[in-house]
Structure 1
C-alpha cells in the first residue's frame, strides 16, 4: 500500500509539473508576440514626427558585447534593442544657402545681442570658460563690417544677461559677473545707444541668471531665470515702468509668476502679446568651496514650453517647440508675422548624457500659433546672436558642434553667417 500511494503521488506531481511547464511556455510565447507587435507599432517613429507627437521615439541598438571564443574567432552577441527619445536627433528640414561674412572681433558664448535698424550690438559673453568679455562690438548690416567697440561698466555682469530694447535704450538686467560659474548680481544698467553712455538702474529684487526679459506695455518685465545657486529655477515675475531709459517707479512690482521657471529662453513682445519660449530647469553650479567658482555638472532638463501673456494678464500655454530647446535668448528675430529661432540646445543624449546642440531654424506663426521647421544652419550651434536686414537672415557667435556626425558642443566661434530668407 505504501508503494501504491507513492506511485499515485508521483503521477499527480508529474501532471501538475507538466501543466505549469505548459503555462510557462504559453506566457513566454505571449510575451514574445507582444514584444514583436510593440516593436512594429506606428508609435515608434523617426524625429520627423516630433511636431505631431510630444514624445516621439525610435529604436537605437545597444553596443554589441564582444567575446573571444578561440584564436582570432570573435562572436557578436546582440543585446535587445531599446526604445530611446528622438528629441536629440536632427529634424528633417530644407537646406538653406549660407554665406560666411566677416567674423566678429572675438568669439562669444552666452553673449547677448540687440538690433537697432541696420546695427547689431553684441554684448560681452565668454571667450573661454576662464575668460569673459567686458565690451560691446557693433556690426553694420549695410556695409557688412564690424565698425565699433566700447566697454561695459565694470560692475555689470558678463554673461547670462537679461536684455531688452526700445529702439534706443538697452536695458541690461542681472546676470553673472566673471568666468566659470560665478555668483550672480542683481545690478541693472541702461545703455543710450546714441551717446554710448551707461546709467545705473534700480536693481532687480533678487539676482538671477539668464532671466526672460522684455519691454511690454510700457514696463520692463523680468521672469524666471535661475536663482542664486545657478541651478534652482525661479518662477518670479517682476516689472517696472520705464520711459526713455529711466525708471518711473522706485521699486519693481510683483506680477503673476511664470508657470515654469528656468533660464536661457527667448522672450518676445509682438502684437500686444508677450511670448516666453523654450528654456531649461537646472544648470551647471560652482563646486562647493571653489575660490574661482569652478563649474560642476548638474542635471538639466530642457523643455519646449511656450507661454503667452495678453490683456487678461493670465499665462496661456501654447503649442510647444518642434523639439525641446534652450540657450536661445538672443537667437530670434520677428519677420512677416512670425518669430524665427536659430539653433540652441536640446535634451541630453539618452545613452552618454552629453549635451546635444540644435541645427534647425524654427518659425512660429503668430496667426495660427503653430511651428514649422524652415531650414538648417551651416552647423549645430547654441547661443546664436541673430539679426535680419534687407532680406538676409544673419547669426554670429556661439558654441558649435564637433562635426556633421557629432552634435556635442566643442569650439566657441565668432563667425558671422547669412542666408537669403523670404517668407
Structure 2
C-alpha cells in the first residue's frame, strides 16, 4: 500500500509539472489595478494604476525575491493608470497611460533607474494613448495598440541607440486592453477590445524582418484586460474580463499558444481570476501583481506567481 501511495504521489507531481503550478507572494503595499509591471535586474516592478476608489496612482513598488518583500519607490513624475511597462538596459520604462479615468491619454515615457533611485522623462510616444501593450525584442521597445477616445492600431518601435521612436505599419485590428509579448523574433498582440467587441480573441504578430503583420490562430477564449507573457517557446494568456457567464464578469482561463504548431491549449484555471493585470517574467515564472477580482473597479493587493509547464 505504501508503494502505491508513493506511485500516486509521483504521478501527481508529474501532472503538476505538465500543467504548471501557482503560488502566492507577499501582498502589495497598495491595492491597484490597470497597472504596468516589468522585471528589471532580477526584481519585479509594479507602477501606477487605479486605487480601489478609482483614483489614479503615481506610486510604484518593487519586489526583491531575496527578501521576499515589497518596497515603495519614489513616485512617478506623472501619475498614470493603464500604462505599459518594460525593462531595458537595467531601467524600468513606463509608457503612456491615462492621467485620470480614461479621458486623458498621455504620450509620456517615464524611466526609473534603480542605480540612482530617480525618475526621468524619455522621448515621448508618437501618439498619446492608454491601455496599450509593450514588449522588448532585440534591444528595442515595441508599443502596440491602446486607445485615445477610440481604439488604435498604432504601433511604434524605440531604438535606444538612436534615442527616438519610429512608427510602424498599423496593427490590422485596432484594440486596447490587449496583451503583448515578444517571442521567437516576433511581437504578438493577443485579445483586447474595441467598438466591435469587448472580448476579442484576435491574435496578430508583427515580424520586424518583413515589416508586416500576420493574422494567426485566434485565442479559444476572447477577452480583454488580461495578461500576456512569453516563457520558453510559448505565449501565455491569463485572466481577463468580459465573461457574461460569470457573475463577476471574470475569466479564470489560462491558455498557451505554441507558434511551432500554431495551436492553443488550455491549462488549469487561475486560483483567483483577475483583470487589470500586467505580466512580469522572472526565472521562467510569470508574476501577476494586483489587478481586480470583478469586472470594472475592484482593486486588490494579491500577488500570484505562475510556474508554467516546460514548453519546447
Give the 5 Å matches for 1:44-123.
98-123=22-47
Residue 145 of structure 1 deviates from its aligned partner by 2.0
1:369 to 248, 262, 284: 262
Aligned residue pairs, count: 292
Residue 176 of structure 1 deviates from its aligned partner by 0.6
Which protein shows a greater Rg?
1
The residue that corresponds to 2:274 in the other structure is 381
Give the 5 Å matches for 1:247-262.
247-249=162-164, 252-262=165-175
Pair 213,384 (structure 1): closer, same or farther in 2 beyond 3 Å: closer
Residues 187-235 of structure 1: CA deviation (Å, up to 9, x unaligned): 22222233222222222233111223233345433232112x2xx1112
The residue that corresponds to 2:73 in the other structure is 150
* 1:278 to 2:191 alignment: yes
TM-score by length of 2: 0.83
The residue that corresponds to 2:153 in the other structure is 235
**Other structure's SS at 1:172 match:** strand
Residue 410 of structure 1 deviates from its aligned partner by 6.4
Residue 422 of structure 1 deviates from its aligned partner by 3.4
Residues 364-415 of structure 1: CA deviation (Å, up to 9, x unaligned): 21322321111111122112343455565542211114xxxxxx56632111
**Other structure's SS at 1:344 match:** coil
Residue 257 of structure 1 deviates from its aligned partner by 0.9
Gaps of 5+ in 1: 1-93, 283-298, 402-407
1:340 to 208, 215, 236: 236
1:223 to 129, 141, 144: 144
Pair 392,305 (structure 1): closer, same or farther in 2 beyond 3 Å: closer
The residue that corresponds to 2:102 in the other structure is 181
1:308 to 184, 205, 213: 205
**Other structure's SS at 2:32 match:** coil
TM-score by length of 1: 0.62
Distance 1:204 1:97 in 2: 37
Residue 355 of structure 1 deviates from its aligned partner by 7.0
Distance 2:239 2:163 in 1: 36
Pair 142,362 (structure 1): closer, same or farther in 2 beyond 3 Å: farther
Residues 292-333 of structure 1: CA deviation (Å, up to 9, x unaligned): xxxxxxx853201111122111110011111112113xx233
Pair 385,226 (structure 1): closer, same or farther in 2 beyond 3 Å: closer
Residue 99 of structure 1 deviates from its aligned partner by 3.8
Distance 1:321 1:170 in 2: 30
Pair 257,132 (structure 1): closer, same or farther in 2 beyond 3 Å: same
Residue 117 of structure 1 deviates from its aligned partner by 4.8
Compute the RMSD of aligned alpha carbons. 2.7
Distance 2:279 2:179 in 1: 12
Distance 2:95 2:305 in 1: 29
Distance 1:157 1:211 in 2: 16
The residue that corresponds to 2:117 in the other structure is 196
Distance 1:175 1:390 in 2: 28
Distance 2:284 2:153 in 1: 37
Task: For CA contacts below 8 A with separation 6 or more, give which structure has more relative contact order.
Answer: 2
Residue 152 of structure 1 deviates from its aligned partner by 3.2
Residue 120 of structure 1 deviates from its aligned partner by 0.7
1:161 to 69, 83, 90: 83
